[in-house]
Amino acid sequence: MPNPRQSKIRNFCIIAHIDHGKSTLADRLLEMTGTLTEREMQDQVLDTMELERERGITIKAQAVRLVYKYKDGEEYILNLIDTPGHVDFTYEVSKSLAACEGALLVVDASQGIQAQTLANLYLALEHDLEIIPVINKIDLPSARPDWAKAQIEEVIGLDAEDAPLISAKNGIGIEEVLDRIIERIPPPEGDEDAPLRALIFDSFYDNYRGVIAYVRIKEGSVRPGQRIMIMSNGKEFEVTEVGIFRPHLVPVDELRAGDVGYIAAGIKNVGDTRVGDTITSADRPASEPLPGYKKLQPMVYCGIYPADGAKYEDLKEALAKLQLNDASLVFEPETSAALGFGFRCGFLGLLHMEIIQERLEREYDLDLVTTAPSVVYRVYKKNGKMVEVSNPTEMPPPAEIDHTEEPVVRAQIITPTEYVGDIMELCQERRGEYRHMEYLESTRVMLTYELPLNEIIYDFFDALKSRTKGYASFDYELIGYKESDLVKLDILLNGQVVDALSVIVHRDKAYARGRAIVQKLKEVIPRHLFEIPIQAAIGSRVIARETIKALRKDVLAKCYGGDVTRKKKLLEKQKEGKKRMRQVGSVEVPQEAFMAVLKIN
Amino acid sequence: MRQLGVYIHFPFCLKKCHYCDFPSYQGMQRWMEPYLEALFREILEWKGEVCDYAVKSIYLGGGTPTLFSGKQIASVLEVCFKSFNVRGDAEITIEANPGTVDRGKLSALRGAGVNRLSIGLQAWQNKHLRFLGRIHSSSDFVQSVMYAKEAGFENINVDVMFGLPYQTVEDWLETLEKVCSLKIQHISMYSLKVESGTPLHIWYEQGKFPLPTQEEDRLMYYKGREYVSGFGFKQYEISNFAIPGKECVHNLIYWHNEEYIGCGSGAHSYFNNERFSNTSDVEEYIRAVMDGTQRINYREKIGEEDERFETIMLGLRLVEGISKQRFKARFGRDIEFYYGKTIKKLMKQGLLVDDEVSIRLTEKGMDVQNVVLLEFMQ
């Protein structure tokens, strides 16, 4: 039973598909409850990272405490936890959900439920959250609120009859949402006098206070000066500050069961405060951690190299800084004959990878060369040993391999019925196995496929979008490993293997991919003084070949009426371009070549 | 006495050619008179600066200098003669477009001291001329050459282009055949370069025409080179061929990296270890000269390292290459002291020859001069 203090607290999150208005609704809630002054208010307050704003997505979890005076005259504390919305971050999402008792399910009144919404909704139901459907964007001419309601009832089996009809953009219906949160979402429970158990649902590194762990206090209480322990690793720290989110950090005297807030304890490494872990009291530890903690393993790997070899140390420093706030980013030094010194980096998924790359380039002003992303393959050798291979160069020679396995995902695609054929075709091209199809309503279906992860890490989402005019939505979860006939495809320039261009592919795909790569390379590698054969090979067997003809002419005809400067500038430009190339044996390869290979289909 | 070249720019055209990205303009004829006034003034301004120099060449280029009357050109030269120590044997060239010269004008030019004529033909076939946006036909060209000879010109250059879209080797050789049969003394043959900002560039981007491959381009170059040699033309520079003794003095100034001054809008100078140029905006140029304000909008000090590289960059265009003796005289040390390793590497690649007297490109090297120069860049 909640105590009187707890009965005035509601902890909730918002579940929505991209573009369905999660951030805008959050902004309105902040505004309506006066949490921020007008001056502090800017659109999408919770999405603070530049990238998040630009992409309209949430990468890191955020939290904010709202204070709302309900019609009974009482003030309620509403803790909104903003969750990441992307499949790469499913685990983080589930931990954020575990910090709440309820969720707003925001559905676009003209688009209805999408795959991503569904995935997160199922997660929320798993955590026994009270779901409040909210129909957004009712101001749009295309809005069909009744249809959206019916769909929620039909697809999810949730009573949506009295779902608030709102327009977050225009501030319509926001109060109704706030009232509904208080009426429907149960207050938190938990014994304030029990040993401390605080669930970490995010953390970031602050230069002055060290790691700031975002927590939901499940049981007990925590205050400055108290000694705490991280349950997964037994490390102990002394709390220097606890506080709440307004949404900036505001210190308080104490956090108690039911509260959402932060703990700072001079922790130096976010790796010590991983999402899902439990913080307890060192002097009076809880007997059990909160359920469900796991250390995330990267799903996708790629090589990241500085375009300018001299920037290696800068890249190292930048990665280390990003890792301060992102315990799921892993990296270790790697050397490539073609690209020099760089790092093998592991990510939770493709979006995570893109985000890290973009942040390195933008926030740290680095020019990068990245190699094709790879998943983690399992190679069973004839000697009975299994090796995990995430870098094609580590693939054992074919003679040593007994069989290979690759990770497989279950993908759910929600689409208007007219695109079912196109999607099936796409999934088939990507070696997908059809599982089932379910009609959500007469015009929309949910397709379930099992797909090799390596088939979706390139451009599956783009292909899906283009084949369905953007109407299909897509979500996936890793379900395990499956035997698969995998081969290492090497690319040879002038007879020499270019390690950075090697990829692991399914044997059936090797020929087409090899052809595509050699053709692409022929386009992007400039002519040299000699002829350059480009070959794609599996082991010693060449499966595709192109030739770059020798350079026959590179001379200016005119002397531009005494304009010597102009000619010199042209040469300087040429020299600049040459400098940015990578020397592979006797061949100079432009960096675009390494990137171009990523964009082949 | 130190030697100097003088370039004078005439930025007016009846119609701008489709491939041209030089600072010349059509529809600006109303500025021609004021332009001459400014030009006179600029030339006179130079007088004090170059009194210690002997001018061995004057080059009247454009644009279309022959858009001006014979009398106007003569007055420009008169100002030159007044301002500079023009040598008695100086080469005085004017660029002429077929269709803008007649007997009278050519005689007037000859009488005013012009002793070399550079005629832009570009191609013999009228379809190519139309494509390039030339205002003349091939018969206009023949007539111009005839008039020039009648006027007493004994040193005539003809500009021709290869590597045009749809140009066949036959077209190209026909062009050379017609040119050679006119018994002129100098041929500039250069391949079409699609420069950005030109109509040709736009059309090319739109995919309206193809360009020849490198192989086709070189084939025309080799065939052309071979063809004109049969008429006594000797190649002395990557794009230039002359009856011995008729090599262009003015262009040799550039290639020997010697000093020259440029007068007129957009004209470049290399003088006192500086490269600089006038604004190429005609109105701005006139205003600046007449008001006595700054007409130069680009200026660069040439340090010794720059000068060495430029000497190589320009000298390697010449068939005779870079004279080792002249290099040493200019920079105090042997060329090998600065570039020994590079030279060796390029010789090994078959792009460069060291014949003791000079360093020069091989035939293969001439095709890829830029590659060679990049090696020399530090």
pLDDT digit string, tens, across residues B4-24: 999 999 999 999 999 999 999
**Single-letter amino acid code for the residue at A325:** N
Rg of chain B over Cα atoms, rounded to whole angstroms, equals 21
Neighbours of B15 (CB within 10 A): 12
Contacts of B260 in chain A (CB under 8 A): 562
Contacts of A572 in chain B (CB under 8 A): 377
pLDDT digit string, tens, across residues B359-370: 999 999 999 999
pLDDT at A596: 73
Contacts of A558 in chain B (CB under 8 A): 190, 193, 239
Helices (H) and strands (E) in chain B, counts: 15, 17
Extract the runs of DSSP E, i.e. beta strands, from A137-248: 197-206, 210-219, 221-222, 227-230, 236-238, 241-245
How many angstroms separate the CA atoms of B92 and B67, rounded?
A: 17
Contacts of B217 in chain A (CB under 8 A): 552-553
CB A559 within 8 A of CB B270: no
Check whether the bond before B63 is cis (ω within 30° of 0).
Answer: yes
**Single-letter amino acid code for the residue at A236:** E
What is the DSSP code (8-state) at residue A553? -
How many angstroms separate the CA atoms of B117 and B76, rounded?
A: 16
CB B275 within 8 A of CB A564: yes
Extract the runs of DSSP E, i.e. beta strands, from B215-317: 234-237, 240-242, 260-263, 268-271, 274-278, 296-301
Among A530, A552, A572, most B C-beta atoms within 10 A, so best to mutate, is A552
pLDDT at B273: 96
- In terms of Cβ atoms closer than 10 Å to its own Cβ (0-12, 13-18, 19+), residue A549 is middle
Neighbours of B209 (CB within 10 A): 13
Full 3-state SS string of A504-547: EEEHHHHHHHHHHHHHHHHHHCCCCCCCEEEEEEECCEEEEEEE
pLDDT digit string, tens, across residues A526-581: 999 999 999 999 988 999 999 999 999 999 877 666 788 888 999 999 998 888 78
Closest CB from A529, A551, A564 relative to B310 = A564
The β-bridge relationship of strands B2-10 and B12-13 is unpaired
CB-based contact (8 Å) between A565 and chain B?
Answer: yes
**Chain B nearest CA to A527, separation (Å):** 11
Nearest to B356 by CA among B329, B336, B331, B330: B336
How many angstroms separate the CA atoms of A327 and A322, rounded?
A: 9
Neighbours of B228 (CB within 10 A): 22
CB-based contact (8 Å) between A531 and chain B?
Answer: no
How many angstroms separate the CA atoms of A464 and A474, rounded?
A: 8
Nearest CA in chain B to A570: B370
Chain-chain contact of B215 with A559 (C-beta, under 8 angstroms): no
How many angstroms separate the CA atoms of A329 and A428, rounded?
A: 32
Q: What is the DSSP string of A70-102?
A: -TTS-EEEEEEEEPP-SGGGHHHHHHHHHT-SE
Cβ-based interface (< 8 Å): residues of B facing A: 7, 9, 22, 61, 190-191, 193, 214-215, 217-218, 221, 238-239, 251, 254-255, 260, 262, 267-270, 275, 277, 298, 300, 309-310, 313-314, 317, 349, 351, 366-371, 373-374, 377
Chain-chain contact of A571 with B374 (C-beta, under 8 angstroms): yes
**Chain A nearest CA to B338, separation (Å):** 19
- In terms of Cβ atoms closer than 10 Å to its own Cβ (0-12, 13-18, 19+), residue A206 is middle
Q: Which two tokens stand for residue A530?
A: 């000699």
> Which segments of chain A have a pLDDT < 70?
19, 36-61, 84-88, 559-561, 599-601
Locus of tokens 């964009």: A599
Chain-chain contact of A568 with B313 (C-beta, under 8 angstroms): yes
How many angstroms separate the CA atoms of A298 and A427, rounded?
A: 24
**Residue-level pLDDT, tens digit, chain B, 378 residues:** 899 999 999 999 999 999 999 999 999 999 999 999 999 999 999 999 999 999 999 999 989 999 999 999 999 999 999 999 999 999 999 999 998 899 999 999 999 999 999 999 999 999 999 999 999 999 999 999 999 999 999 999 999 999 999 999 999 999 999 999 999 999 999 999 999 999 999 999 999 999 999 999 999 999 999 999 999 999 999 999 999 999 999 999 999 999 999 999 999 999 999 999 999 999 999 999 999 999 999 999 999 999 999 999 999 999 999 999 999 999 999 999 999 999 999 999 999 999 999 999 999 999 999 999 999 997
Mean pLDDT of chain B: 96
- In terms of Cβ atoms closer than 10 Å to its own Cβ (0-12, 13-18, 19+), residue A51 is middle
**Chain A nearest CA to B215, separation (Å):** 6
pLDDT at A51: 53
Across chain B, which distance is largest between two alpha carbons, in Å? 57
**Chain A nearest CA to B122, separation (Å):** 13
Contacts of B373 in chain A (CB under 8 A): 571
Of all helices (H) and strands (E), which one includes residue A27?
helix A22-32
Chain-chain contact of A552 with B275 (C-beta, under 8 angstroms): no
B69: Cα within 13 Å, side-chain hemisphere = 4
Nearest CA in chain A to B260: A562
pLDDT at B236: 97
Neighbours of A158 (CB within 10 A): 17
The β-bridge relationship of strands B260-263 and B2-10 is parallel
Nearest to A567 by CA among B143, B121, B257: B257
How many angstroms separate the CA atoms of A131 and A181, rounded?
A: 10
Locus of tokens 């120590």: B85
Closest CB from B238, B267, B349 relative to A555 = B238
Contacts of A556 in chain B (CB under 8 A): 193, 369-370
Dihedral sign, CA of A235, A236, A241, A242? Answer: positive
Question: CB under 8 Å to A291, separation ≥6 — which residues?
Answer: none
- Angle in degrees, CA A321, A96, A297, rounded to 5: 55
Nearest CA in chain B to A557: B190
The β-bridge relationship of strands A249-252 and A300-306 is unpaired
Contacts of B239 in chain A (CB under 8 A): 557-558
3-state secondary structure of B87: strand
Contacts of B309 in chain A (CB under 8 A): 568
Check whether the bond before A247 is cis (ω within 30° of 0).
Answer: yes
Neighbours of B143 (CB within 10 A): 17
Among B216, B237, B367, most A C-beta atoms within 10 A, so best to mutate, is B367
Closest CB from A564, A565, A578 relative to B314 = A564
Q: Which two tokens stand for residue A458?
A: 């390139």
Q: Which two tokens stand for residue B90?
A: 């100086």
**Chain A nearest CA to B164, separation (Å):** 13
pLDDT at A427: 95
Chain-chain contact of A555 with B254 (C-beta, under 8 angstroms): no
CB A568 within 8 A of CB A575: no
Closest CB from A552, A559, A567 relative to B218 = A552
Chain-chain contact of B270 with A562 (C-beta, under 8 angstroms): yes
Closest CB from A529, A561, A568 relative to B371 = A529
CB B128 within 8 A of CB B179: no
H-helix segments, chain B: 32-46, 70-83, 103-111, 126-132, 138-150, 169-181, 199-205, 214-229, 249-255, 282-291, 304-315, 324-331, 335-348, 363-367, 369-376
Q: Which two tokens stand for residue A507?
A: 């044997």
Query: How many CB pairs (< 8 A) connect A and B?
Result: 93
B71: Cα within 13 Å, side-chain hemisphere = 1
How many angstroms separate the CA atoms of A98 and A125, rounded?
A: 11
Contacts of B256 in chain A (CB under 8 A): none
How many angstroms separate the CA atoms of A334 and A315, rounded?
A: 13
Burial pattern B122-138, b for ≥16 Cβ within 10 A else e, equals bbbbeebbebbbbbbeb
| Phi, psi angles (nearest 5°) of residue B236 | -125, -5
